[in-house]
Amino acid sequence: MSALTDTLTTKLRYRRDLGLLFDPRTGTFHRLRNTVAKTMVDQVFSGADRDAVIDIVSRRYRTDRCHVAADFDTLITTLTTPSSAQLQPHGRSLLAVDKRFDGTLDFPLRMEIELTAVCNWNCGFCYNVWKIDPTMSDNDIRRTVRQLPEKHIPTELATGILDECAERGCFVIRYSGGETLLHPDAMEIFEHGGRLGLYQVVFTNGHFINAERAARLAAANVRCVLVSIHGDRDQHNQLTGHPRAYDKAVDAMRLLLDAGINVVAELTLVKENVSGALDVIRDAHRIGVREFGVMRYVPTGRHDDQYGVPVSVTLPLMREIDRLTATECPGMTVAWPCAQKLCTSDTDAPLRADDPTLALRFSQLAGHCESGLVWASISYDGRLRNCPHSNVYFGRLADHPLADLWPTLTDRVRTALTVRPTCAGCAVADACQGGCHLSSFFTSKTPTGLGIPAVGTAPATSTDR
Ligand SMILES: C[S@@+](CC[C@H](N)C(=O)[O-])C[C@H]1O[C@@H](n2cnc3c(N)ncnc32)[C@H](O)[C@@H]1O
Ligand code: SF4
Ligand code: SF4
């Protein structure tokens, strides 16, 4: 193999069915749009060297060999030398690629794995705790979680899932929890993923990060860490129920940045912290963080009156954030994940293509989350679901490979995503898809209980929440 083709196959990973190349170091995706480029890359990843590829392509397309050689060299050089424009912030680059699939994926492109059910914080808004049993008191739930026979995903199951993902072209793995780093083998699992060349993202409260751990994460190809921060010191400690939570989270962000890891500060927007949200962005910027996520509270059916934030706060807050980043926090990217409706309206309010607020909306709202279409989530007990907020499951990974469970899940999600009549004519319907489709994928009537699998019994229509 020539040096050029060698660089391509060692630097990039290839998803042949999608014509998609991925750089696991930078998180950059390249989509091959023309069939000649795809033929060239197919051949390289099948083991053909430069001369062989040029022969095959010039014969197949009856084109002059010198032209093909020049095109081939330009293509490979472009793919292996990412331009600065391609090095977008972590979230933007991944989300941009998510939106571009019309057909059903044979296998997900990203996965989330919940490593553990255990947490050292006590966030009253947490969706995980609710799923144990919404009728229990907070204390009873915590006690129950501690006593779960399998509170951490078995290490061999986690590494087996990573093996399958690497083999089948699922390039990005996000780990979550509970507190992710409370899995006793968390670091070993990340190191396994790093050896497989996966781009890894860790969601954490930051409590267990120290300099040595940060360096180990960087060495394991954990390229991005999402650190939760929900207010100033007093508010954050109060919301998380831990007296040192804020200082630990801030220290963690600094240590991770020092280790060269991309840090995203993640605020869960609840009633209490709406007015302080701008200050949290300021604080994160001061620390050196340049990516910020605003995750609006997702109803859990438990304390929704206490924490729930109406959609109507979104647009005014977006305007203030826009002003803040333009004046006091240069370079800060703020994104609202989790399928915020682009119209930011409780009722559907179709947008026109010439709406003057579209640019602002698209600058912060990520659009549809693509859960179940491009990615899915695995719970600490090894069950597959379309998103971490859902309690409707599609089988156990201990019993079936992901490749066998994924098709049923993704077909169900596609069915659930039928456009609502009230969204008709909306200019941004493709990007928005009506917002979150979770209501089709959880059941609040029957708590899952402990170890009792909830099955896919939710209606296959999307209703607004
Ligand atoms: C479940 S935690 C797991 C990782 C880690 N323990 C942490 O706190 O960052 C992941 C994120 O989900 C957020 N979250 C929890 N419950 C939520 C809810 N009901 N709605 C929206 N976000 C929620 C948390 O605040 C956190 O930012
Ligand atoms: S389905 Fe809803 S709750 Fe789940 S990730 Fe998407 S937007 Fe969030
Ligand atoms: S698709 Fe529906 S929910 Fe989304 S912006 Fe348009 S009207 Fe609003």
Condensed to tens digits (0 to 9), the pLDDT of residues 330-357 reads 999 999 999 899 999 989 999 999 999 9
Predicted local confidence at residue 30, as pLDDT: 87
Residue that has been written with the tokens 């057909």 in this structure = 103
Predicted local confidence at residue 459, as pLDDT: 26
Per-residue buried b or exposed e for 185-216, using 16+ beta carbons within 10 Å of the residue's own CB: bbbebbbbbbebbbbbbbbbbbbebeeebbbb
Is pLDDT at 108 greater than 90 in this prediction? yes
In this structure, are residues 198 and 172 in contact, taking their beta carbons and an 8 Å threshold?
Answer: yes
Rg (CA), the chain: 23
Give residue 386 CA to ligand 2 midpoint distance, Å: 8
For ligand 1, atom 25, the nearest C-alpha belongs to 268
Q: Kindly identify the ligand whose nearest atom is closest to the C-alpha of 114.
A: 1
Predicted local confidence at residue 373, as pLDDT: 94
Tokens of 198: 């996966």
Number of C-alpha atoms within 13 angstroms, CB side, residue 297? 26
Question: What share of the chain has pLDDT > 70, as a percent?
Answer: 89
In this structure, are residues 232 and 223 in contact, taking their beta carbons and an 8 Å threshold?
Answer: no
Rounded mean pLDDT of 109-124? Answer: 94
Is pLDDT at 309 greater than 50 in this prediction? yes
Give residue 426 CA to ligand 3 midpoint distance, Å: 6
For ligand 2, atom 8, the nearest C-alpha belongs to 338
Is pLDDT at 159 greater than 70 in this prediction? yes
Residue that has been written with the tokens 């019994």 in this structure = 457
Is pLDDT at 460 greater than 60 in this prediction? no
In whole angstroms, what is the distance from residue 389 CA to residue 397 CA? 18
Burial label, 314 (beta-carbon count in 10 A; 0-12, 13-18, 19+): buried
Predicted local confidence at residue 396, as pLDDT: 98
Ligand 3 atom at shortest distance from the alpha carbon of 350: 7
Rounded mean pLDDT of 269-283? Answer: 98
Could you tell me the pLDDT band of residue 5, with boundaries at 50, 70 and 90?
A: confident
Give residue 119 CA to ligand 3 midpoint distance, Å: 36
Q: How many helices (H) and strands (E) does the chain have?
A: 18, 12
In whole angstroms, what is the distance from residue 178 CA to residue 117 CA? 4
Amino acid identity for residue 129 in this structure: V
Give residue 25 CA to ligand 1 midpoint distance, Å: 26
In the predicted model, what is the mean pLDDT of the chain?
89
- Name 290's Cβ contacts closer than 8 Å, sequence gap at least 6: 89, 331, 332, 333
Rounded mean pLDDT of 367-384? Answer: 94
Predicted local confidence at residue 465, as pLDDT: 22
In whole angstroms, what is the distance from residue 87 CA to residue 91 CA? 11
Question: What share of the chain has pLDDT > 90, as a percent?
Answer: 73
| Selected residue with higher pLDDT from 332 and 143 | 332
Condensed to tens digits (0 to 9), the pLDDT of residues 36-79 reads 999 999 999 999 999 999 999 999 999 999 999 999 999 999 89
Predicted local confidence at residue 419, as pLDDT: 84
Mean pLDDT lowest among 80-94, 155-169, 207-221, 428-442? 80-94
Q: Which residues form the pocket of ligand 1, taking CB atoms under 6 Å from any ligand atom?
A: 119, 123, 125-128, 176-177, 179-180, 203-205, 228, 266, 268, 295, 297-298, 300
369 lines ligand 2 (CB under 6 A): yes
Q: What is the CATH number of domain 110-440?
A: 3.20.20.70
Condensed to tens digits (0 to 9), the pLDDT of residues 446-457 reads 333 222 222 222
Is pLDDT at 244 greater than 70 in this prediction? yes
In this structure, are residues 130 and 161 in contact, taking their beta carbons and an 8 Å threshold?
Answer: no
Predicted local confidence at residue 70, as pLDDT: 95
In this structure, are residues 370 and 104 in contact, taking their beta carbons and an 8 Å threshold?
Answer: no
Q: Kindly identify the ligand whose nearest atom is closest to the C-alpha of 368.
A: 2
β-bridge pairing 172-176 and 28-31: unpaired
Burial label, 32 (beta-carbon count in 10 A; 0-12, 13-18, 19+): buried
In whole angstroms, how far apart are CA 70 and each of 1, 12, 54, 420? Answer: 18, 21, 10, 50
Dihedral pair phi/psi, residue 86, rounded to 5°: -80, -20
Indicate the domain borders of the chain. 3-87, 110-440
